[in-house]
Amino acid sequence: NAGVTQTPKFRVLKTGQSMTLLCAQDMNHEYMYWYRQDPGMGLRLIHYSVGEGTTAKGEVPDGYNVSRLKKQNFLLGLESAAPSQTSVYFCASNNRGEQYFGPGTRLTVT
Amino acid sequence: AQSVAQPEDQVNVAEGNPLTVKCTYSVSGNPYLFWYVQYPNRGLQFLLKYITGDNLVKGSYGFEAEFNKSQTSFHLKKPSALVSDSALYFCAVRDDASGGSYIPTFGRGTSLIVHP
């Protein structure tokens, strides 16, 4: 039981490049979330999903897109990366209780 | 609406002394309350939660938290701090009247530093 996994762990992008962050969970959770963590800002919700095939916007969705084609996977896409998207990204899942977090992806946009 | 506040950015305590990390919340309905810990370069780990029942909740690594409805607080405590407890601690709240997305609101985090 791996819990929540994220790939990649680190990535450096140039402004304007695109990438996809993958989150996978093996706990059969319905609910999945993408957060970004910046110094002094705490955790901010980007997008979330309440089940396979559904997605919704969170607090800071601009510049990001998501997809939940399979229940166990939640993908976060950056179509045209900007330096303001330099951050640590965390995926989480829950089954109506506490959140289970992945180890994070550290993204730098130059 | 739901909100949570962690009034201290940093708490310093000597090893062996008791520690308290403060959290207050605001909800429309009944609160579901959580504490998480984050070690450097790691994801958040769940410590404990209050849903209903006893006001004193025990969790991982010897931590406990006390739910106080009249003061709308959920402070994290440990009787004897360890240097290895040094980390970032997050309080989170979810309002049971917030609908079906089960989204908690997180505090900004409190950095706990335990001095040898």
Is the pLDDT at A57 greater than 90? The verdict is: yes
Query: In this predicted structure, what is the pLDDT of residue A39?
Result: 86
Query: In this predicted structure, what is the pLDDT of residue B56?
Result: 96
Contact A45 B92 (CB under 8 A): no
Query: In this predicted structure, what is the pLDDT of residue A100?
Result: 96
Work out the pLDDT band at A96, boundaries 50, 70, 90. Answer: confident
**Whole-number percent of chain B with pLDDT over 70:** 99
Query: In this predicted structure, what is the pLDDT of residue A41?
Result: 82
Residues in A lying within 8 Å of B, measured between beta carbons: 4, 31, 33, 40-43, 45, 48, 50, 56, 58, 90, 92, 94, 96-104
Please state, in angstroms and rounded to a whole number, the distance separating the CA atoms of residues B90 and B70: 22
Please state, in angstroms and rounded to a whole number, the distance separating the CA atoms of residues A92 and A90: 7
The DSSP line for B42-70 is S-EEEEEEESSS-SEEE-GGG-EEEEETT
Query: In this predicted structure, what is the pLDDT of residue A97?
Result: 87
Please state, in angstroms and rounded to a whole number, the distance separating the CA atoms of residues B61 and B39: 13
The mean pLDDT of B50-56, rounded to a whole number, is 92
